Amino acid sequence: MKNQFILLMLLVTSITVTNAQNIWTVNNQPSFNADFTNLQVAVDSASAGDIIMLHGSSTSYGSLVIRKRIVIIGPGYLLGQNDAPNTQANPLPASISNLTFDSDPSGDIDASGSLVTGLTITNVYSSAASQTPINYTVQRCYIEFTRPGSYVTALFKENLLYYSPDNSYATLDLDGINNTTFENNIIIRGNGEDIVHTNNQNTGTFKNNTFVSIGANDPEVLIEGDGMSFINNLFLGDTTITVINQYGIGSVQNNMSNTTTFEGIASNITDANADNLVIGWSNPEGLSLDNRFSTKANAPSIGAGLNGENIGAFTNTSPYILSGIPFVPNIYALDAPDFGTTGSGITVNIKAKANN
């Protein structure tokens, strides 16, 4: 318990986020000294612009609906599976089931401007009672299934999206979205069928993502829409990439695949050797789910993107971060005794890292 308290206090006192009114702590573990035990109550009680520090727990925080501008910061994911400093001294994740970005029934306020980072999330949705686009950011989270929905102008960046059930749902179901951007994500489909589905009403951008199929049944990336752009993405596995041009695709260029799926589409690279692209394609032993797809030294994807940029999630100015460690300092090693005396106190040894 003392270790958890020291960890949380360092995060809270070190965080630097502008325009925040208050910083609140949430922990649903028994006997933990936090401001709230219930995440939904914490969000409902907070003022617009407040920061909520969500502590790792062995118990899910349940479903959450956000109807105001709020920042929620968790510890990251796959903690303990990646080497220091890409981990936490407390390896428990902060998990929620359904995350919904919404507007107030009055339509006067909504979740626009919100940021969630460092969380493990089952489903991400959005709904807008006022039918006014909600602009939010999901960054460095582990997400199972995403359907942003209509009336969304969102940014998904540096996330790990992994959907494994054997069914017809896609990891990303983008029916009706507009102006949503996916950058530097790892997007995986295990078993089942499809990785991404867009339709003829979609507009948005996929840039510098790594798409992976693991054991999927003829997985597909379906690209259509009157303004969908796919640029500098890396496709690994036996993935069928279908481009439907009748709706006026925005741009499909400088992507790379280890199959022939882009054959006949100019400026895309096919038949690349996956073992030359990422460090753990054929031999993932000892590697975490995300580190397996780190860019290999001297990979042909380096410099092969648009305007000489790199291809894939781990590249360029805002690369994917292992374990989704958020942009606050993290303590990745902590040694503290359980007891001390008033005379001698206690000696605490920590190792920490500042993050952007």
- Give which of 121, 142, 125 is closest to 134, Cα–Cα: 125
Compute φ and ψ for 245, nearest 5 degrees. -90, -5
Give the count of domains, the chain. 1
- Determine the Cα–Cα distance for residues 247 and 267; give it in Å rounded to an integer: 20
Amino acid (one-letter) located at 293: F
The two most distant CA atoms of the chain are separated, in Å, by 78
What global pTM score does this model have?
0.90
Range of the domain at 211: 2-353
| CB of 241 closer than 8 Å to CB of 262 | yes
Looking up residue 317, the CATH number of its domain turns out to be 2.160.20
Q: In this predicted structure, what is the pLDDT of residue 246?
A: 46
- The answer to whether the beta carbons of residues 291 and 324 sit under 8 Å apart is no
Q: What is the pLDDT of residues 290-332, one digit of tens each?
A: 999 999 999 999 999 999 999 999 987 899 999 999 999 888 8
**pLDDT given for residue 163 in this prediction:** 79
Return left, alpha or beta for 57; rule: phi > 0 is left, psi -120 to 50 is alpha, else beta: beta
Q: For 219-264, how does the pLDDT look when each residue is reduced to its tens digit (9 = 90+)?
A: 566 665 567 788 999 999 876 666 655 445 567 889 999 887 766 6
Helices H / strands E in the chain, number of each: 2, 25
Q: Which amino acid is at 304?
A: A
Identify the pLDDT of residue 8: 47
